[in-house]
Structure 1
Amino acid sequence: MLQLLTIHLKDLINPDFYINNGGLWVLLFIVFAETGLMFGFFLPGDSLLFVAGIYSEKLIGSIISGGTGSEFLDLIVLWLLVSICGIIGNALGYWFGNKSGPFLFHRKDSLLFKKKYLFQAKEFYDKHGGEAIVFARFLPIVRTFAPIIAGIVAMDKKKFVLYNVVGSLAWVFAMLFAGHYLDKLFMTKFGFDLKKHLEVIVIGIVVITTAPVLYKLFFGRKNTAPAEDPYQKS
């Protein structure tokens, strides 16, 4: 008899839930959604990848019977698959932003919309666009909206593509390999099973990755220098 899966709110931010109930395909979709779709900002990208590194053999075994036969190759295959989804997700976010850009730059200010923030974002991406795309990968919420904003302010497409690929490969590699090898290190050296303490790990990752965002939000200096409208007709 078919049993329906009961989902609680806390399950939506629990990476272990996705791994055990959705497997590789859900993992790939979440990475794609969190990096390209605006509604995906709440999904647990960093902690999910960390946990995926721990369960890499299980995840690859779901599409390759018995896995590749090598835990390192399992990680490599998983790294490439997840990275591709992250690259496609960011590309979709950029495309959506680029299509929305002309409308937003020519829209009049309102209570909830101030055009000056678009010009500030434009100036920032002109100066630090490549770095922003790469480092945004390691910051929750920011990584969801960074490619969209890059598209809105018409960041150079070739530059975006390059840093999109670099950022995705670096982010996925760091999280997957950290999860896999730290789990082995702690088990071998201290007899400490990370899989039994995932809640603490998730909280730690969230704190570490959100701290820079909160610091920048409350203590960062605001730059109000003007920038040009990228969609201005000559």
Structure 2
Amino acid sequence: MNFGEYIDPSYLIKTFSYVGLFGIVFAETGLLIGFFLPGDTLLLTAGIFAARGDVTLFGVILSCFLGAVIGNSVGYYIGHRFGPAVFSRQDSRIFKPEYVEKTRGYFERYGALTLIISRFVPIVRTFVPTMAGAGRMDFRLFTLYNVIGALIWCTTVPAAGYYLGRLFPPEVLDKYILAIILGVIVVSGLSVAVELLRRRVKAS
């Protein structure tokens, strides 16, 4: 067993089911080191497995929702407890300046809505709750948008996977699931690339 298996969506769902789903979503949003974890691809794959009957769609959505809400709340606490010091190390391999600046840019542009929008933006969703806590965002407002964002994300992405699972026969999905997952990664990362390019052009 190697590390690659632990970030392989299919392996995680087959082996750890709802617990694995909860754990990955929680780690990605609450432990600050989870930006490399397969959030979107895991949810999409879980939806496909739900269509096959390996898990239930309700169980997938509930596991994701709980992991997302609790994870964000932990991230908020870390930011609130330790404040700006969390992001102050310029040489940090985790809190890279470009990650922090990108997250700050979302807050400046969208305000509290960032908690909803960032659910669909890899890397950013990892740092948003911590930055909200560090910025002393009202916890009640944070919780409201946290719950709404988690509900939307944890419903739409697995539902898309469920639809794909119903639309195509298992043998087709088995053959092309890797391509589908790679496609999701590319689409998810596209917004990050576009935003970074936009900010560089603006800075120059």
TM-score of the superposition, structure 2-length normalised?
0.82
Q: Does structure 1 residue 90 correspond to structure 2 residue 72?
A: yes
Asked if the contact 1:83–1:172 (Cα under 8 Å) also holds between the matched residues in 2, the reply is yes
Match of 2:58 in 1: 76
Shift in CA distance, 155/54, structure 1 to aligned 2, threshold 3 Å: same
- Post-superposition Cα deviations, 1:22-75, rounded to whole Å, max 9, x if no partner, equal 22211111111111111211110101011111112323xxxxxxxxxxxxxx32
Q: Which residue identity is paired with 2:54?
A: K
Asked if the contact 2:79–2:86 (Cα under 8 Å) also holds between the matched residues in 1, the reply is no
Percent identity reads 37
Equivalent of residue 179 in structure 2, options 200, 216, 220: 200
Match of 1:145 in 2: 127
Shift in CA distance, 16/91, structure 1 to aligned 2, threshold 3 Å: same
Asked if the contact 2:46–2:158 (Cα under 8 Å) also holds between the matched residues in 1, the reply is yes
Distance between the aligned counterparts of 2:139 and 2:193, measured in 1?
A: 29
Q: Does structure 1 residue 30 correspond to structure 2 residue 24?
A: yes
Shift in CA distance, 120/33, structure 1 to aligned 2, threshold 3 Å: closer
More helix by share: 2
Match of 1:171 in 2: 153
How many aligned residue pairs are there?
197
Distance between the aligned counterparts of 2:44 and 2:100, measured in 1?
A: 34
Alignment of 1:15-164 (within 5 A): 15-56=9-50, 57-59=53-55, 74-101=56-83, 103=85, 112=91, 125=107, 128-164=110-146
Query: Over aligned residue pairs, what C-alpha RMSD do you find?
Result: 3.0
Distance between the aligned counterparts of 2:107 and 2:137, measured in 1?
A: 7
Alignment of 1:186-197 (within 5 A): 186-187=168-169, 193-197=172-176
Q: Which residue identity is paired with 2:9?
A: P
Gaps of 5+ in 1: 1-5, 60-73, 225-234
Distance between the aligned counterparts of 2:183 and 2:104, measured in 1?
A: 33
Q: Does structure 1 residue 219 correspond to structure 2 residue 198?
A: yes
- Post-superposition Cα deviations, 1:163-215, rounded to whole Å, max 9, x if no partner, equal 1001111111111111011121133xxx8622332211111000001101111
Shift in CA distance, 31/219, structure 1 to aligned 2, threshold 3 Å: same
Q: Which residue identity is paired with 1:97?
A: G
Gaps of 5+ in 2: none
Shift in CA distance, 210/16, structure 1 to aligned 2, threshold 3 Å: same
